[in-house]
């Protein structure tokens, strides 16, 4: 955008005409967000300090909800389950996403647009339908068990898959993988093919190219994909209910129960705030690691001339 600050005469008038008022165009959405997003979150924060009634709350302000959640026997297990599911899902998504995005960027050729379209379609495919689909596939009479039975590998249906953390992670990878592929692909788009050719010409093998050239340059997109997946997977409350066993409940499930079943809204609110606090902590750790690495190795980075 050519915003010449010191432009004078007719040009200045022109610039004013084009640039003075556009901020006003954001006013309707800003007001909407203030009234229907920021104020609700503020109210929600206050609410987490109120005393619980049944499906409502009243004053005075208290720390009891937070104390109750932190001191509760179930919280450590729920938090661990959430963190593990978030971690496994994010790591698996990255492990699959990297080769796929790399292939799409550098070797898919004329199939690139078609494959990208497939990933976009998969990204928008219904969330609940996927959970349902995995229950159908993994269930005792599901496709996998039927196949195992008919091939004579087992005599009775295996309960190994359904109602386990594995099933939760499989479904969440299924739901979140397309996002990771697209984010990593966008990252690879900024990487000039000449960079890899140079590495190859200098004698770097596949492993060295990934370790010394590709991964260092892809740290930032990888970190944002990781955080995005970690938060969405760890906060999920539907998948563990339908695909997890009794020991696989997560923080989101507890929050949902407080809202719908026990009617203890302030405790649900306190749990939700503590969960978001945990996510902020993870985000802070990830970005601190990134910064540390940046400071550690300035060499080997490329500049993009766009």
With beta carbons less than 8 A apart as the criterion, state whether 89 and 172 touch: yes
Find, among 280, 274, 245, 277, the residue nearest to 258 by Cα: 274
- Alpha helices in 7-63, H assignment, sequence order: 10-19, 27-33, 39-47
Is 62 one of the binding residues for another protein (CB under 8 A)? Answer: no
Q: If you write DSSP's letter for every residue of 253-268 in order, what string do you get?
A: HHHHHHHHTS--HHHH
Residue 44 touches another protein, criterion: CB under 8 A:
yes
Among residues 129, 151, 207, 261, which is the contact residue for another protein, using CB under 8 A? 129
Nearest-approach distance from CB 202 to another protein, in angstroms: 26
Q: Using CA atoms of 17, 23, 29, 33 in order, give the dihedral in degrees to the nearest 10.
A: -170
Task: Assess whether the previous peptide bond of 268 is cis (omega < 30° from 0).
Answer: no
For residues 131 and 9, what is the distance between their CA atoms, to the nearest angstrom? Answer: 63
Residue nearer to another protein on the CB measure, 126 or 202: 126
Binds another protein by CB under 8 A, chosen from 167, 168, 213, 268: 268
| Residue number, 34 or 202, with CB nearest to another protein | 34
Please identify which residue in 81, 139, 214, 226 interacts with another protein, judged by CB under 8 A. 139
Say whether residue 131 binds another protein (CB under 8 A): yes
Residue 115 binding another protein, by CB under 8 A: yes
Residues 198 to 227 in contact with another protein, rule: CB under 8 A? 221
Residue 70 vs residues 65, 78, 275: alpha-carbon distances, Å: 9, 11, 11
Q: Among residues 29 and 292, whose Cβ is nearest to another protein?
A: 29
Site for another protein in 79-108 (CB under 8 A): 96, 99-100, 103-104, 107-108
**Identity of the residue, 37 or 197, whose beta carbon is nearer to another protein in the bound complex:** 37
Given the complex with another protein, which of 165 and 174 has the nearer CB atom? Answer: 174
DSSP 8-state assignment for residue 21: S
Judged by CB under 8 A, the chain residues 168 through 197 that form the site for another protein are 174, 177-178, 181-183, 185-187, 189-190
Residue with tokens 């556009």: 22
Does 244 sit near another protein (CB under 8 A)? no
Closest by Cα among 274, 254, 278, 251 to 264: 254
Q: How far is CA 263 from CA 55, 71, 269, 297, in A?
A: 4, 20, 11, 52
Complex with another protein: residue 77 or 256, whichever CB lies closer: 256
- 17 touches another protein by CB under 8 A: yes
By CB under 8 A, which span of 27-35, 69-77, 197-205, 284-292 interacts with another protein?
27-35
302 binds another protein, rule: CB under 8 A: no
């Amino acid at each position: 955008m050519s915003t010449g600050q010191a432009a004078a005469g007719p040009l200045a008038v022109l610039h004013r005409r084009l640039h003075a008022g556009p901020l006003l165009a954001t006013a309707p959405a800003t007001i909407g967000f203030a009234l229907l997003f920021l104020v609700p979150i503020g109210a929600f924060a206050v609410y987490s300090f109120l005393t619980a009634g049944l499906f409502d709350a009243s004053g005075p302000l208290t720390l009891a909800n937070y104390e109750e959640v932190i001191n509760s026997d179930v919280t450590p297990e729920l938090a661990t389950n959430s963190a593990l599911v978030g971690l496994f899902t994010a790591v698996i998504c990255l492990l699959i996403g990297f080769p796929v995005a790399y292939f799409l960027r550098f070797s898919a050729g004329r199939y690139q647009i078609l494959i990208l379209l497939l990933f976009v379609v998969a990204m928008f495919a219904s969330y609940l339908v996927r959970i349902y689909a995995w229950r159908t596939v993994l269930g005792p009479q599901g496709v996998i068990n039927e196949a195992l039975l008919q091939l004579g590998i087992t005599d009775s249906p295996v309960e190994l898959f359904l109602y386990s953390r594995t099933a939760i992670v499989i479904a969440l990878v299924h739901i979140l993988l397309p996002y990771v592929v697209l984010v990593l692909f966008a990252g690879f788009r900024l990487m000039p093919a000449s960079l890899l050719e140079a590495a190859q010409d200098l004698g770097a093998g596949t492993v060295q190219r990934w370790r010394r050239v590709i991964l260092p340059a892809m740290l930032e997109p990888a970190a944002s994909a990781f955080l995005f997946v970690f938060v969405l997977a760890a906060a999920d409350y539907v998948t563990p209910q339908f695909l997890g066993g009794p020991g696989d409940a997560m923080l989101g499930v507890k929050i949902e129960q407080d809202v719908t079943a026990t009617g203890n809204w302030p405790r649900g609110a306190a749990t939700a705030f503590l969960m978001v606090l945990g996510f902020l902590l993870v985000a802070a750790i990830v970005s601190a690691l990134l910064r540390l690495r940046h400071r550690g190795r300035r060499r080997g980075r490329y500049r993009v001339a766009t």
